[in-house]
Amino acid sequence: MTEPELTYTTSDLSRRSGDIITAAIRAPVTITQRNKPRLVLLSIETFEAMRKRADPRFAGKTAEMPADLAEEFLEAIDAYHEDANK
């Protein structure tokens, strides 16, 4: 059974930092400011596990590609079309 997600305010963080840190070691803790979620505190173990599971790929715009990569990309597309039309 998972523990319920804990939420504290930024005011709580300044007054009860020790309690909040202890809670964050057990499970991620949300910190709100003006009733909006602003931060999540979590243990380093949870953070490292998340980083290991993260997808290292990223999305970008072709117009922002370096010229040599864009050329290689276009060549790969042309080769794919040539193979598909054989």
Q: Model pTM greater than 0.85?
A: no
Query: 10 lies in a domain?
Result: yes
Q: Which domain holds residue 35?
A: 6-84
Q: For residue range 65-79, what is the model confidence (pLDDT) as tens digits?
A: 899 998 999 999 999
Helix (H) or strand (E) holding 32: strand 29-33
Counting the structural domains of the chain, the total is 1
Alpha carbon distance 36, 21 (integer Å)? 20
Query: 1 lies in a domain?
Result: no
Residue 1 — pLDDT band, cuts 50, 70, 90? very low
Mean pLDDT across the stretch 17-23? 96
